[in-house]
């Protein structure tokens, strides 16, 4: 059976600033999907990560379906209504347009979709990150799909012998989708050259070169480019098919043991290590640290199994301790150097005003 997996996520309000949506908000979003999605979707699952609500929908409408996107948009509107009623912070924050028009892309919510003919058994992973941006997935995707140090299947499995095709998007280009396709292993160094710059070049999708099948899709929107000002970080979602011609679930998960430094954290303006957490975790320390959750499912004729919470395992407690340590080490230097993002990436405009104000106070002194 040919199905589409759509994950659509938004922050439409949370308790205590940007920490976690309320139970009542989550209930309203869920009930909307249950009631209005009956005829349209086959199955769904709702999860939260930090202050974001992610909806996983299975259906046969294909990618970019207006009906599916509108269902999610309206569900987030229902959540916003509750957020307003409860006085939650940032009510409706990610719904940047006044009304829905055709597709949630460019309207605020993040979306990632995969359409494929189901294999006999179809395992996949759903990732959701908070207090960071889409570039956060660059390194783990590179290591999980292109590096035999993490993906042993590249050496051991004939099903991955030809490697993978990466589609990378230049998120700074707002007039059109500026994309490049790179085949690994041949283009490995070129891919690494682009992925060095997580704030500009972001992996949008990956497919198998052995079968041509889609393997991964990640959301790549930049809210700042849509709204023209700071409205929160982009908190990306991602879907990855695993096993067989794709990396094993554990190979995709392995790079998250690094706790690599990403952009985000407090006010979307700092550097912090990405902490793998259980689903429905809140953010805490310094509005972070940047979080990533992962749920594993199998799907059959569009019906989902219950999820496995992939980072809910004693191994990841050890990683979380390491990441906490890395967080503290960088946080000790506050605003200085690499602890705070470079000027162009700061998400608040205040500093621009401050620099303008200081300008006339500079004077030139003779050498
Ligand atoms: C990060 C984030 C938070 C807020 C911070 C201040 O993406 O959303 O760290 O930036 O809590 O929020 P405001 O400016 O809304 O008071
Ligand atoms: Mg938020
Ligand atoms: Mg968020």
* Per-residue pLDDT reduced to its tens digit, 198-219: 999 999 999 999 999 999 999 9
**Secondary structure of the chain: what % helix, strand, coil (to 5)?**
30, 30, 40
Q: Per the domain annotation, does 357 fall within a domain?
A: no
Q: How would residue 350 be classed by pLDDT, with cut points 50, 70 and 90?
A: confident
Q: What is the pLDDT of residue 17?
A: 93
Assess whether 230 carries a catalytic annotation: yes
- Rounded-to-integer distance, Cα 72 and Cα 322, Å: 36
Centroid of ligand 2 to alpha carbon of 246 (angstroms): 33
If one residue of 267, 283, 351 were mutated to test the ligand 1 pocket, choosing by the most ligand atoms within 8 A of its CB, it would be 267
Closest-CA residue to 261 (of 337, 183, 148): 337
Q: What is the pLDDT of residue 91?
A: 96
Which residues form the pocket of ligand 1, taking CB atoms under 6 Å from any ligand atom? 17-18, 131, 232-233, 266-268, 287
Section 285-310 average pLDDT: 98
Average pLDDT of every residue of the chain:
95
Centroid of ligand 3 to alpha carbon of 132 (angstroms): 8
The active-site residue, picked from 9, 11, 131, 235, is 11
Centroid of ligand 2 to alpha carbon of 208 (angstroms): 34
Burial (CB < 10 A; 0-12, 13-18, 19+), residue 116, is middle
Token pair recorded at residue 269: 């303006």
Q: Per the domain annotation, does 158 fall within a domain?
A: yes
Question: In total, how many domains does the chain have?
Answer: 1
Assess whether 233 carries a catalytic annotation: yes
Q: Per the domain annotation, does 209 fall within a domain?
A: yes
Closest-CA residue to 225 (of 172, 263, 293): 172
Which ligand 1 atom is the nearest neighbour of the CA of 131? 7
- Rounded-to-integer distance, Cα 54 and Cα 292, Å: 12
Q: Per the domain annotation, does 240 fall within a domain?
A: yes
Q: How many residues appear in the chain?
A: 367
pLDDT per position as a tens digit, 67-100? 999 999 999 999 999 999 999 999 999 998 888 8
The active-site residue, picked from 105, 162, 230, 312, is 230
Range of the domain at 347: 2-351
Closest-CA residue to 204 (of 193, 220, 215, 188): 220
Q: Per the domain annotation, does 32 fall within a domain?
A: yes
Centroid of ligand 1 to alpha carbon of 334 (angstroms): 17
Q: Per the domain annotation, does 80 fall within a domain?
A: yes
**DSSP string across 134-177:** GGGGHHHHHHHHH-TTT-THHHH-GGGTT-EEEEEEETT--SS-
Position 112 pLDDT exceeds 70: yes
Q: Per the domain annotation, does 77 fall within a domain?
A: yes
Assess whether 190 carries a catalytic annotation: no
If one residue of 88, 266, 341 were mutated to test the ligand 1 pocket, choosing by the most ligand atoms within 8 A of its CB, it would be 266
Question: Ligand 1 atom 4: the closest Cα is on which residue?
Answer: 267
Rounded to two decimals, the pTM is 0.96
Q: Per the domain annotation, does 94 fall within a domain?
A: yes
Q: β-strands 110-117, 2-10: how paired? A: antiparallel
Centroid of ligand 3 to alpha carbon of 156 (angstroms): 38
Buried b (16+ CB within 10 A) or exposed e, 130-164: bbbbbbbbbbbbbbbbbbeebbebbeebeebeebb
172 backbone dihedrals φ, ψ, rounded to 5°: -80, -20
Closest-CA residue to 313 (of 258, 236, 253, 248): 253
């Amino acid at each position: 059976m040919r199905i589409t997996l759509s994950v659509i996520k938004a922050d439409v309000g949370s308790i205590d600033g940007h920490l976690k949506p309320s139970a009542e908000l989550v209930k309203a979003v869920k009930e909307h999907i249950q009631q209005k999605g009956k005829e349209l979707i086959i199955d769904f699952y709702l999860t939260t990560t930090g202050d974001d609500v992610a909806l996983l929908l299975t259906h046969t409408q294909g990618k970019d379906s207006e009906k599916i996107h509108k269902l999610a948009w309206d569900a987030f509107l229902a959540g916003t209504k509750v957020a307003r009623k409860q006085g939650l912070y940032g009510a409706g924050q990610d719904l940047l347009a006044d009304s829905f028009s055709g597709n949630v892309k460019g309207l605020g919510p993040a979306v990632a979709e995969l359409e494929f003919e189901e294999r006999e058994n179809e395992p996949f992973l759903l990732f959701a990150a908070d207090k960071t941006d889409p570039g956060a997935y660059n390194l783990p995707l590179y290591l999980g799909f292109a590096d035999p140090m993490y993906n042993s299947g590249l050496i051991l499995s004939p099903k991955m012998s030809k490697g993978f095709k990466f589609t990378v998007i230049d998120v700074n280009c707002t007039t059109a989708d500026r994309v490049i396709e790179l085949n690994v292993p041949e283009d490995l160094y070129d891919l690494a050259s682009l992925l060095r710059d997580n704030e500009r070049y972001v992996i949008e999708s990956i497919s198998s070169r052995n079968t041509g099948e889609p393997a991964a899709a990640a959301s790549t929107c930049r809210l700042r480019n849509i709204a023209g000002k700071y409205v929160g970080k982009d908190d990306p979602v991602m879907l990855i098919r695993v096993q067989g011609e794709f990396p094993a679930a554990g190979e995709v998960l392995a790079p998250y043991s690094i706790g690599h430094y990403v952009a985000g954290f407090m006010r979307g303006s700092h550097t912090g290590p990405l902490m793998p957490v259980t689903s429905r975790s809140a953010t805490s320390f310094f509005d972070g640290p940047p979080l990533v959750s992962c749920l594993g499912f199998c799907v059959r004729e569009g019906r989902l199994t219950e999820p496995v919470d992939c980072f809910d395992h004693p191994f990841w407690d050890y990683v979380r301790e390491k990441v906490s340590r890395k967080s503290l080490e960088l946080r000790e230097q506050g605003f200085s150097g690499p602890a705070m993002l470079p000027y162009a990436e700061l998400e608040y405009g205040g500093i621009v005003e401050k620099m303008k104000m200081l300008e006339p106070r500079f004077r030139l002194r003779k050498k």
